Amino acid sequence: MKKTKQLFAALTLMVLGLGSAQADYTLDLMRGVTVISNEVYDLHILILWICIFIGIAVFGTMFYSIYYHRKSMGHKAEQFHENTTVEIIWTIIPTIILVGMAIPATKTMLDMDDSREAEMSIKVTGWQWKWEYEYMDNGIHFFSSLDEASNEARQKNSGIDPRSVPHYLLNVDKPLVVPVNTKIRFLFTAADVIHSWWVPDLGWKKDTVPGFINESWTDIKEVGTYRGQCAELCGKDHGFMPIVVIAKEKADYDAWVEEQKTLAIAEANAADKEWAVDELIAKGETVYANNCASCHMADGAGMPGTFPAISGSAVVTGDMDSQVDLMMNGKGMMPAFGQMLSAVDFAAVSTFIRNGLGNSVGDSIQPSAIQTLQPASTEEDDDE
């Protein structure tokens, strides 16, 4: 019944051609919240109108002809053809129009390219299928992936109505926080395959290419939350790695930075304490759901031929050290989780997969043991 209603609504919409059942629904490019995004929007509108104008002229002529120059109206065909004057005119006029478009386009292009005098830099690394953010100026560093509510709802036949999930597929566990009225330089790279970082409100997208650094910049003018997605096909969960940028007033941003620093210390302390096995397993289950289940499946069955099963896996039920080594450094499509997970999360999920998902090895590993194995924090390498 509901579907029929939706269908009906959709059809009505189609007839009307505008209006909407969804509140935040748009037909056009968004203006965005930066000077550049506004320039881009204006260019888009300018060219759209030029096209509409040409379209009216061409189609108008054509439909006039289709209506009046019909055999059924008794119109006799004239046999004229080849007219050099006409042909020169219809080559020159488009050329002039194109030059008219190229001038403002070049100006915007040059503005977008100029990332000089940035006040802060953020390095963005694309992973299958999450984003890594590193604030180059204050050492804040975290991963950002699809939020849990969307992740549950997006499973095949989950039974959860996407409309009931706030910001379905456009929400993350940990958003990127930036100050407004600050020229921010972004550096883009990727850890595995090519991704593309796109927040429409900023007016551009940029590919993240493994082994190369791309650059772009923004200067957000309005406080707010801006959402985007990965725009370059990057594997099966390409549709599930959104971007959320929260732009705050400078003072609020500074407060957030302090808060992050306190959290980092707390996290380091948590790694030093002795964890009970049950605690680790309980925490590990969540870590598994967020990081591992998209390939190895929620029940650990994997996907034959592509992603090996966890349940009954020789690696997981075998020697702890080789399992930890594989998770730490990755292999083939398996990402290196060494720098992606905190020591606590790493120890928790290592313990969980040995004692859950049909496995019962019975042993566990402490976060402190993981810490000694983890690669040095990546911040040092970025000073080049």
Question: Which residues, numbered 160-189, are part of the site for another protein (CB under 8 A)?
Answer: 160-163, 167-170, 188
List 122, 140, 230, 344, residue binding another protein (CB under 8 A): 230
- By CB under 8 A, what part of segment 304-343 binds another protein? 304-306, 333
233 touches another protein by CB under 8 A = yes
- By CB under 8 A, what part of segment 64-93 binds another protein? 65-66, 69-72, 75-83, 86-87, 90-91
Which region, judged by CB under 8 A, interacts with another protein, from 132-140, 225-233, 261-269, 284-292? 225-233
Which three-class secondary structure state does DSSP give residue 243?
Answer: strand
Phi and psi torsions of 333, nearest 5°: -80, -15
Nearest of 237, 232, 210, 206 to residue 128 by alpha carbon: 237
How many residues in total does the chain contain?
384
- By CB under 8 A, what part of segment 189-208 binds another protein? 192-194, 196, 198, 200, 203-207
List 157, 269, 360, 372, residue binding another protein (CB under 8 A): 157
Is 180 within 8 Å of 220 (Cβ atoms)? yes
Q: How many CB atoms lie within 10 A of CB 235?
A: 15
Number of residues that bind another protein (CB under 8 A): 113
CB of 43 to another protein, least distance (A): 5
Which region, judged by CB under 8 A, interacts with another protein, from 36-44, 178-186, 271-279, 313-321? 36-44
377 touches another protein by CB under 8 A = no
378 touches another protein by CB under 8 A = no
- Which uninterrupted H or E stretch holds 130? strand 130-135
Calpha distance 145→99 (Å, rounded): 44
Which three-class secondary structure state does DSSP give residue 202?
Answer: helix
Q: Residue 187 or residue 344: which is nearer to another protein going by CB?
A: 187
Q: Residue 189 or residue 317: which is nearer to another protein going by CB?
A: 189
- Which uninterrupted H or E stretch holds 142? strand 141-144
Strands 176-179 and 242-248: parallel
CB of 8 to another protein, least distance (A): 11
List 35, 38, 47, 173, residue binding another protein (CB under 8 A): 47
Q: Residue 139 or residue 239: which is nearer to another protein going by CB?
A: 239
352 touches another protein by CB under 8 A = no
Q: Residue 7 or residue 255: which is nearer to another protein going by CB?
A: 7
353 touches another protein by CB under 8 A = no
Calpha distance 384→381 (Å, rounded): 7
Q: Residue 90 or residue 380: which is nearer to another protein going by CB?
A: 90
Which region, judged by CB under 8 A, interacts with another protein, from 102-110, 132-140, 250-258, 359-367? 102-110
Is 122 within 8 Å of 247 (Cβ atoms)? no
Calpha distance 228→171 (Å, rounded): 9
Phi and psi torsions of 68, nearest 5°: -90, -25
Q: Which residues pair with 262 in a beta bridge?
A: none
Calpha distance 246→260 (Å, rounded): 15
56 touches another protein by CB under 8 A = no
| Angstrom distances, CA of residue 46 to CA of 29, 49, 222 | 13, 5, 24
CB of 98 to another protein, least distance (A): 5
156 touches another protein by CB under 8 A = yes
- Which residue type occupies 22? Q
Calpha distance 163→349 (Å, rounded): 31
Q: Taking CA 242 as the corner, what is the angle to CA 236 and CA 246, rounded to the nearest 5 degrees?
A: 170
Which region, judged by CB under 8 A, interacts with another protein, from 106-114, 174-182, 335-343, 351-359? 106-114
CB of 190 to another protein, least distance (A): 9
Q: Residue 326 or residue 361: which is nearer to another protein going by CB?
A: 326
Calpha distance 187→120 (Å, rounded): 11
Q: How many CB atoms lie within 10 A of CB 36?
A: 18
269 touches another protein by CB under 8 A = no
- By CB under 8 A, what part of segment 270-299 binds another protein? none
113 touches another protein by CB under 8 A = yes
